[in-house]
Amino acid sequence: MDNQKIRLNKFLAERLGVSRREADDLIAAGKVTINDDKAILGAKIDKNDKVCYNKKIVPFQADFSYLAFNKPIGYVCSRRAQGSTPTLYNLLPIKYQKLKTVGRLDKDTSGLILLTNDGDFAFQMTHPKFHKEKVYEVELNKPLEPLHQQMVSDYGVMLDDGPSKFTVIKDDSIPSNQGEFQDVTTRELTRESRSDGYERCNSADKITQNRYIVTLSEGRNRQIRRTFAALGYRVIKLHRTQFGKYQLNTLAPGEFTEFKI
């Protein structure tokens, strides 16, 4: 940054781990000062300025951390546990527990979640205008009808919060080692066969008939689950493998790795 002036909201976003819009809200609320004077929207600063938030100095220089984590099923992304449901922060070393998740995965969804203290990075990864693609492995309780597949991919499905459209393709891969993903799916399908009348399904061939790859750039709450539910399907397994250019690769459930941008 040297002596170049930067926008105050960008600076606060990076240091506080918030979006630029949230930083503007803090400024407008009078919680930020520059050299002991109340900050105004649109202000610019350099390293010689003293910026305070809630009367505490915000250091000009900061070290950012970026973490890729394979979230297991059964954990929430919030800092606090929800009832008996644990938080993913229970699985991270103390030094990473101040990082914020970049977006969220619900309790029943596994896979790639990014964490950082760089608010600007989080903003660029999550704001809809940047169109960051996310890729998921999805398993349904029954094969997707071709008409429904075309409807989702080409036209979209109307939900309560607007139309939902994403790409769906058949996943013809059969993993050589099914691991946790396959074990859980088999148990879920067996339970489905008892409660909903579907044929008992224990073979890998039958299970993979219901597996799909979903690619979308939106991030609405439980969007994939709600979209398939609107067409009469239930998502048995939802596993994110990619977020933007970042991929899960060989990280096992509960494992994490640091990366640079």
Task: Point out the residues that are catalytic.
Answer: 106
For 222-261, letters b (16+ CB in 10 Å) and e give ebbbbbbeeeebebbbbbbbbbbebebeeeebeebeeeee
Phi/psi at 211 (5° precision): -100, 140
Please name the amino acid found at residue 176: S
Distance of CA 241 to the CA centre of its chain: 11
Per DSSP, the residues of 35-89 read: TTEE--TT-EE-TTS-EEETTEE--SS----EEEEEEPTT-BSSSS-BTTBPBGG
3-state SS class at 143 = coil
